């Protein structure tokens, strides 16, 4: 697809859909590497490191995560094709 085709498609969008696409494009071109981590980001990373330092084998078993999402392991296996 070339730019002219993309512009033609954009011209056919209604205002709400155009706004959504414009926001998506902004996210896609944003340079995330330039963003500094927030204080909340730094706290979350520190808490994660502390948690795994105290219990290196810790974490939540996958089966528990699956159950917490309301699925069974059989459903997950069927979806994965296995």
Model confidence at 72: pLDDT above 80: yes
Residue-wise pLDDT for 9-59, tens only, equals: 888 988 888 888 888 888 777 766 567 888 998 998 888 888 778 877 767
pLDDT confidence bin for 5, thresholds 50/70/90: very high
Nearest 5°: the CA angle 45, 46, 52 is 90
Q: What is the dihedral of CA 15, 17, 18, 19, to 10 degrees?
A: 90
CA distance 43 to 46: 5
pTM of the model: 0.35
């Amino acid at each position: 697809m070339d730019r002219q085709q993309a512009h033609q498609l954009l011209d056919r969008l209604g205002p709400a859909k155009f706004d959504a696409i414009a926001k998506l494009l902004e996210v896609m071109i944003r340079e995330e590497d330039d963003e500094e981590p927030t204080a909340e980001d730094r706290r979350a990373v520190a808490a994660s490191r502390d948690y795994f330092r105290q219990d290196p084998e810790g974490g939540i078993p996958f089966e528990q995560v699956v159950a917490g999402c309301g699925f069974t392991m059989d459903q997950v296996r069927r979806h994965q094709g296995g």
